[in-house]
Amino acid sequence: MSTWTARIPAVTLFVEDIAAAKEFYARVFDLPVHFEDEVSGVFVFGPTMINLLQVSEAAGLVGPATVGDAAAGVRVQFTLEVDDVDATAELLRSRGVELLNGPLDRPWGIRTAAFRDPAGHVWEVAAPLPAS
């Protein structure tokens, strides 16, 4: 097995409003900020760090490539495994989150619900359907 594909230690998400993004992640996921400065905030999801970075700083990481406009549409979805999608959906609603869809059963054997962060990145909560 190749070690460079064994895990993803960090994902960087470009955001237009770093303060709103940090507040959302702390409130919705009930996570402490692992690291922050005026242009970034890092939250730890298991073995993966989600780095929120003000879009104005993105060129330093991805240049000469350009950063896509948030209004262009969804280009990524992150899935979090949960024990109970319905209970998690209710928890999200209680934290002010508007669901995009769900909870609903998918034909590939999972129950899901999806929502967006302030920058438009989509998150999904999912759990296997009980065996029938």
Pair of tokens at residue 49: 């760090």
pLDDT bracket for residue 13 (50, 70, 90): very high
99 lies in the same domain as 51:
no
Give the β-pairing of 99-105 and 110-116: antiparallel
Strand, helix or coil for residue 20: helix
pLDDT digits (tens, 9 = 90+) for 70-111: 888 888 999 999 999 999 999 999 999 999 999 999 999 999
CA dihedral 52, 53, 55, 58 (to 10 degrees): -130
Asked whether residue 35 falls in the same domain as residue 83, the answer is no
Residues 21, 41: Cα–Cα separation, whole Å: 8
Residue for token pair 């490539």: 65
Q: Could you tell me the residue range of the domain that residue 86 belongs to? A: 74-132
Q: Give the span between the Cα atoms of 44 and 117, in whole angstroms.
A: 16
CATH number, domain of 22, equals: 3.10.180.10
